[in-house]
């Protein structure tokens, strides 16, 4: 037997499995609503103008490709802090926030998980039920026991807020609570501003460690609006971790640009904390890649490019909302007995459609429309050219 002969096949990634089935489908009119990627009105993943302009500047500079510092490009980390906390934040003024460039939002979560495993090793981790499918695996791979807190209520198609609050109140002190800052993936159901207030109070009272995952800032109500929850957690005091990603908001998926920010109690504590975060990075991949971080830093710190980005992000947000509206209106005509109004209330790229596993299978088999078997659909691939086909197909399987 060879050294590796007893190794089992690892389970397939459920979402990548959909993409494989989609790629194998010969129907030219096939539609993939399974992935978490934004497509424009022409069905293409956009290359934003602000990114192209920043890249033109960078090519002109022809800078050598030396290593970045372990914690990443300083101008990038500073720009991320201003975006995430707000430029006038006390944690920036008091040097209590530390930010390290990360390999996408996933890399930021992993640095955070590895860091917490060193300094809060016995803590329980809690994620929403359901959550992004990689959350559990990431924290388990860092050595944590991962539990769920109540979140989605299939009956109301909204948040089971009483259940969530009760679960928060029952968590042992020092537990790590992972929350989606906005645009909850996979459900599209977010907390209201009032509900966030109650969650923040429960987290403070219970001595919990909040970890906000912000992968979709700007896809909900706006950049500042979506980031408001971070500022509210900061105002409540206590430790706070935030992972953020520019994969979606800059359409820079493959460049792997994200960051982990941590709020400490003092500048001195922050300096020690940063040294330990750097140790985690150093022993994983030494330092992050240059290109994506430079592109994002250039856009965020050049006023004209920054404005362009905000406009381009707003256009993505507005188009997604228009597709939600059209989806609901058209389904009302095609399937009058069914109420899909909740799709209008949902926020961000995703929607728990309420379709069953069997219905999702029929959609793929008979109509070449692909979705996740939990009923999650991504609204972003919908456009004027394909929405009627999708709505017709859904009306047929209902």
Residues 250-269 interacting with ligand PLP (rule: CB under 6 A): 258
Residues 200-219 interacting with ligand PLP (rule: CB under 6 A): 213, 215
- Residue 36 touches ligand PLP, criterion: CB under 6 A: yes
Going by their DSSP bridges, the two strands 376-378 and 158-159 should be labelled as: unpaired
In a 13 Å sphere around the CA of 220, the CA atoms on its Cβ side amount to 25
Measured in degrees and rounded to the nearest 5, phi and psi for residue 359 equal -65, -40
Residue span binding ligand PLP (CB under 6 A) among the ranges 1-9, 69-77, 101-109, 332-340: 101-109
Report the residue number, 71 or 213, with the smaller CB distance to ligand PLP. 213
Would you say how long the chain is, in residues?
Answer: 398
Q: Site for ligand PLP (CB under 6 A): which residue of 34, 104, 218, 293?
A: 104
- Residue 132 touches ligand PLP, criterion: CB under 6 A: yes
Going by their DSSP bridges, the two strands 240-245 and 176-180 should be labelled as: unpaired
Report the residue number, 68 or 214, with the smaller CB distance to ligand PLP. 214
Going by their DSSP bridges, the two strands 257-263 and 97-103 should be labelled as: antiparallel
Angle, CA 216 vertex, CA 214 and CA 221 arms, to 5° = 110
- Residue 130 touches ligand PLP, criterion: CB under 6 A: no
Is 248 one of the annotated active-site residues of the chain? Answer: yes
- Cα–Cα distance for residue pair 310/324, rounded to 1 Å: 21
- Residue 160 touches ligand PLP, criterion: CB under 6 A: no
- Cα–Cα distance for residue pair 133/145, rounded to 1 Å: 15
Q: Site for ligand PLP (CB under 6 A): which residue of 34, 105, 227, 293?
A: 105
- Residue 245 touches ligand PLP, criterion: CB under 6 A: yes
Q: Are 294 and 72 in contact (CB under 8 A)?
A: no
- Cα–Cα distance for residue pair 233/110, rounded to 1 Å: 21
Size of the site for ligand PLP (CB under 6 A): 12
Given 30, 53, 110, 248, the catalytic residue = 248
Is 132 one of the annotated active-site residues of the chain? Answer: yes
Active site residues: 132, 213, 248
Q: Contact positions toward ligand PLP, by CB under 6 A?
A: 36, 104-106, 132, 180, 185, 213, 215, 245, 247, 258
């Amino acid at each position: 037997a060879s050294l590796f002969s007893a190794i089992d096949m690892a389970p397939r990634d459920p979402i990548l499995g959909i993409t494989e089935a989609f790629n194998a489908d010969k129907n030219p009119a096939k539609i993939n609503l399974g992935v978490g990627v934004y497509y424009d009105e022409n069905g293409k993943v956009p290359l934003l103008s602000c990114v192209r302009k920043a890249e033109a500047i960078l090519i002109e500079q022809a800078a050598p490709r030396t290593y970045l510092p372990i914690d990443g490009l300083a101008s990038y980390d500073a720009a991320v802090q201003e975006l995430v906390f707000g430029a006038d934040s006390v944690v920036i003024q008091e040097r209590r926030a530390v930010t390290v460039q990360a390999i996408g939002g996933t890399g930021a979560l992993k640095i955070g998980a590895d860091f917490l495993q060193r300094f809060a090793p016995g803590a329980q981790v809690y994620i929403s039920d359901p959550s992004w499918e990689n959350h559990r695996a990431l924290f388990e791979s860092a050595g944590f026991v991962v539990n769920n807190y109540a979140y989605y209520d299939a009956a109301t198609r909204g948040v089971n807020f009483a259940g969530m609050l009760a679960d928060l109140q029952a968590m042992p002190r020092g537990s790590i609570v992972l929350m989606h800052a906005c645009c909850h993936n996979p459900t599209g159901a977010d907390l209201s501003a009032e509900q966030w207030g109650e969650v923040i109070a429960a987290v403070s009272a219970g001595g919990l460690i909040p970890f906000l995952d912000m992968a979709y800032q700007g896809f909900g109500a706006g950049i500042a609006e979506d980031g408001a929850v971070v500022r509210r957690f900061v105002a409540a005091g206590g430790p706070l971790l935030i992972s953020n990603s520019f994969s979606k908001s800059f359409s820079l998926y493959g460049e792997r640009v994200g960051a982990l920010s941590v709020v400490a109690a003092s500048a001195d504590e922050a300096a020690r904390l940063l040294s330990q975060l750097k140790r985690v990075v150093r022993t994983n991949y030494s330092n992050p890649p240059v290109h994506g971080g430079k592109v994002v830093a250039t856009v965020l710190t050049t006023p004209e490019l920054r404005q362009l980005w905000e406009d381009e992000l707003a256009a993505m947000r507005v188009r997604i909302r228009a597709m939600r509206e059209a989806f609901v209106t058209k389904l009302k005509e095609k399937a009058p007995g069914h109420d899909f109004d909740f799709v209008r209330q949902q926020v961000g790229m995703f929607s728990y459609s309420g379709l069953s596993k069997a219905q999702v299978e029929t959609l793929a088999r008979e109509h070449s429309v692909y979705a996740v078997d939990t009923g999650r659909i991504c609204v972003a691939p919908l456009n004027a050219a394909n929405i009627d086909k999708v709505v017709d197909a859904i009306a047929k399987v209902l």
